[in-house]
Homo-oligomer: A and B are copies of this chain.
């Protein structure tokens, strides 16, 4: 059906992307205070680069919503509990749409791959191999993104990848969560395999919301205003 790819194309990452990733990771893992000022020259000096790639990275962080820039004033970190909650809401919204699209567009090969992931997760769950579980978790979601054929949505989602990873690490540390998470993943896979778009969407939404709320409570001791009915 499709030609086997012998070699992956080479992608060099530019200095800008490197800076972008580095800053993003630092902000999300809390190494910058909220509203901390980011001095272009000082940061560039710290990183040992010129201001040009740094400025570009700041612009990317800005559109991602992690940095706010006031003209001729400076750039400031923007990250707090409310923002983390919004990132969870955004993730729930986007992932659920992609799950719905995956139920519509997935190839049989992609569905088979998801089934494989589920089986590997079942094994990792029993062995309590958390690192492996996190890895499989990300493969599973990636496969769904792939299957959705949603390039644009994926890119939007991508800005949150670091945050999603942090959330997974937190949530999967807890045994009860691991068991529930696995059951949810299996249900999502089955809904996609059955081409049940609405069910896939609903389940994914529920899955992300539950994991997200757990993460918020654990890390920020933050409970969303009130539970939805």
Hey, which bits of chain A sit against chain B, CB under 8 A? 11-14, 16-17, 52, 55-57, 59-60, 62-65, 71-72, 78, 82-83, 86-87, 89-90, 92-94, 96-97, 100-101, 104-105, 149-153, 155-156, 159, 197-198, 225-226, 228-229
Contacts and interface: CB of A to CB of B under 8 A. Distances in A.
Nearest to A17: B71
What DSSP secondary structure best describes chain A's contact surface? helix
A156 B60 CA distance: 12
29 contacts: A12-B71, A14-B71, A17-B71, A52-B55, A55-B56, A59-B59, A59-B60, A60-B60, A60-B63, A63-B64, A65-B151, A65-B152, A65-B156, A83-B151, A86-B152, A89-B97, A89-B153, A90-B94, A90-B97, A90-B153, A90-B156, A93-B93, A93-B94, A93-B96, A93-B97, A104-B226, A105-B225, A197-B229, A198-B229
Given A12-B72, A56-B55, A89 B156 contact: no
Contact of A150 (B13, B89, B100, B198): B89
A105 B225 CA distance: 9
